[in-house]
Structure 1
Amino acid sequence: LVLVTVAQMFIVGGSEIDLGVGAFAGLVSVLSATLLYDQPWLGALALVAALAVYAGLGGVIQARKIPAIVVTLGASFIWVGIGYALQPTPGGASPDWLTALFGWSIGFMPTSIIMIAAVALIVLIIDSLPLGVVLRGFGNNPAAMIRSGWSPTRYALVRYLIAGLFAGAAGLSLTAINTASDINSGNSYTLLSVAAVVMGGCSLLGGIISPVGAVAGAVTLSLIGALLGTLSVSSDYNAATQGLILIALLTLRSMTADRRSKP
């Protein structure tokens, strides 16, 4: 969820929402457990091609002025369709090197904590670079960026490329952790990633992102199931609890903003 949330964060930073990011992660998972396992070179080419198509969505959205929510929703059906064509039922196997990549640890430190910290650090670095400033600029005031000579199509491609890399990493991690793949394994992460981004302090209007906040939001939503289990509460209440937490945080944020705006 952390990786999918980071991918969604870059899209939201451009004042858009990707409704196909979870399905794309599921497709990458299928590709890695089928083609990448059986024919590594063909699998690698398929992953690169999928990433190129995903990045191309940004260009299509900018060039044709089509709402991102429509394009990405349509793309999600394509990702799922390709996944079912390659693997009608859950299965496949994780390449040994992929399992090892996500299975190492340092001392008593869990792999998940190390990787979450690494992801947060990478995103912070990207956000602090001039590239990150420009990407946020297009989300905040695209007209001003265009007048300054920046190409909206070029940076839309870059934004979706970065998001695709993180979503692809999420798909690879799903295969490594589950040692198999399922095209539907990432579907639930799509809306959860939007919730995590909002919980983390990012603005759905674009221009304002919070890498650490988004990662923290994703971790919080991921731990709700474990918390409910500790309290002996049925996991059936996971979604409801996540929704209540999101509404509560948004309400508190709105109240805080209102107080600050008052003289």
Structure 2
Amino acid sequence: MSGLVAVSAAALRGSRAAWAFGVLALTWLAAILFADGFDSVSNFRYLVQTASFLGIVAVGQTLVVIMSGIDLSVSGVVALSAVVCAKVASGTGGGATGITAALALSALVGAVNAAGVVWLRVPPMVMTLATGTILAGALLVYTDGSPSSAAVPLLDSLANGRLLGVPWAFVLWLGITAVAGWLLHLSRTGRYAFALGAGESAARASGVPLGATAFTAYVSCALLAGVAGLVLLGFTGTSSLTMGNPYQLLSIASVVLGGTSILGGRGHLLGTVGGALLLTLLTALLTSWNLSEGVRQVVLGVLIIGLLLVYARERRT
């Protein structure tokens, strides 16, 4: 734990992760000054609770991006997890069986993504986009387009309960981030992921196990998307085919805003936490100003494109 704290402190001393938290602080100040309700404890608690759903997905996305990959199937996995759990739990399987089935299928999707990227040599963007498209079609057939409702007490408590006033969802997010942070920044697998992101040819020549590293990253990413889907099911009580759609763009944006290079090889999970909090706050602020969904998407898209151009230029220099 002390090693993880030291790595996190070093990341904050760097400009990238610290920048995300700096912009977060300025945005929060602007929200307090120019919007109603942002200075209340209940609003703050709600923001960190909803940021946790995005944050859990973004942690997994960071693991993949660090190794110069990307996962565009996370939206489908979020929906898959929630739909399967709701269907099983509302049937004869029960909540525990539904949760198990949802996580197992999520991990399977991650394994398929990794197999396509490693063995078939399909570009990650193409492979994961194809997987996400297949999931969307399969879920449409499975549900006939109808939402499914289910009451799973464990998920309800996890999504809506509190620990000493702090939402359990936020505690779960921080716990996942700590475990993933150890894996990425203090373990051999993490060093392999950074090496692979810095250059596949050099990593291969250095003896980095590319297959095992990719499988760990993609399966972890899909599993965390599945966890987010379960917590969302507990939060809303209902699953739908489109419930994961916002998290595909926003999870990538959280990673980029947190200072992780979209080209791989550089970054820190602590910055991703700041990025997820920033995007959730920014979305809430734009919503409070009665801006439309289209305008919000334009603002986020322009921001992402600008950061991608900056990081691409840094990588070339």
Contact 2:85 2:102 in 1 (8 A): no
Cα distance change on mapping 1:14 and 1:221 into 2, 3 Å: same
Deviation at 1:112, TM superposition (A): 4.3
Alignment correspondent of 2:21: none
Q: Is it true that 1:98 corresponds to 2:155 in the alignment?
A: yes
Q: Moved runs in structure 1, 4+ residues, more than 4 A?
A: 247-255
Q: Is it true that 1:207 corresponds to 2:260 in the alignment?
A: no
Alignment correspondent of 2:70: 17
Alignment correspondent of 2:137: 81
Deviation at 1:253, TM superposition (A): 7.0
Mapped partners of 1:238, 1:59: distance in 2:
36
Matching residue within 246, 266, 289 for 1:188: 246
- For residue 214 of structure 1, give the secondary structure of its aligned residue in structure 2: helix
Q: Is it true that 1:147 corresponds to 2:205 in the alignment?
A: yes
Mapped partners of 1:51, 1:148: distance in 2:
29
Q: Is it true that 1:125 corresponds to 2:182 in the alignment?
A: yes
Letter in 2 for 1:64: L
Cα distance change on mapping 1:234 and 1:167 into 2, 3 Å: same
Contact 1:225 1:235 in 2 (8 A): no
Deviation at 1:210, TM superposition (A): 1.7
Cα distance change on mapping 1:30 and 1:243 into 2, 3 Å: same
Alignment correspondent of 1:221: 279
Alignment correspondent of 2:116: 60
Mapped partners of 1:252, 1:50: distance in 2:
33
Letter in 2 for 1:51: A
Q: What is the CA deviation profile of residues 60-111 of structure 1, one whole-angstrom value per residue up to 9, with x for unaligned ones?
A: 2111111111111110112112222332211221412221222221233233
Contact 2:66 2:266 in 1 (8 A): yes
Unaligned runs of 5+ in 2: 1-53
Cα distance change on mapping 1:85 and 1:243 into 2, 3 Å: same
Matching residue within 197, 202, 223 for 1:165: 223
Deviation at 1:224, TM superposition (A): 1.6
Contact 2:111 2:219 in 1 (8 A): yes
Mapped partners of 1:249, 1:56: distance in 2:
30
Unaligned runs of 5+ in 1: none
- For residue 34 of structure 1, give the secondary structure of its aligned residue in structure 2: helix
Mapped partners of 2:308, 2:109: distance in 1:
34
- For residue 148 of structure 2, give the secondary structure of its aligned residue in structure 1: coil
Cα distance change on mapping 1:178 and 1:194 into 2, 3 Å: same
Mapped partners of 2:128, 2:178: distance in 1:
27
- For residue 70 of structure 1, give the secondary structure of its aligned residue in structure 2: helix
Q: What is the CA deviation profile of residues 22-59 of structure 1, one whole-angstrom value per residue up to 9, with x for unaligned ones?
A: 11111111111112442147632454144123223212
Cα distance change on mapping 1:169 and 1:45 into 2, 3 Å: closer
- For residue 102 of structure 1, give the secondary structure of its aligned residue in structure 2: helix
- For residue 163 of structure 2, give the secondary structure of its aligned residue in structure 1: coil
Cα distance change on mapping 1:32 and 1:210 into 2, 3 Å: same
- For residue 149 of structure 1, give the secondary structure of its aligned residue in structure 2: coil
Deviation at 1:116, TM superposition (A): 3.6
Mapped partners of 1:150, 1:36: distance in 2:
42
Task: Give the share of equivalent positions with the same residue, in percent.
Answer: 28
Alignment correspondent of 1:33: 86
Letter in 2 for 1:5: A
Deviation at 1:223, TM superposition (A): 1.5
| TM-score after normalising by structure 2 | 0.73
Matching residue within 58, 61, 79 for 1:5: 58
Contact 1:138 1:145 in 2 (8 A): yes
Contact 1:59 1:154 in 2 (8 A): no
Cα distance change on mapping 1:37 and 1:137 into 2, 3 Å: farther
| TM-score after normalising by structure 1 | 0.87
Alignment root-mean-square deviation, CA: 2.5
Letter in 1 for 2:136: V
- For residue 71 of structure 1, give the secondary structure of its aligned residue in structure 2: helix
Mapped partners of 2:308, 2:160: distance in 1:
36
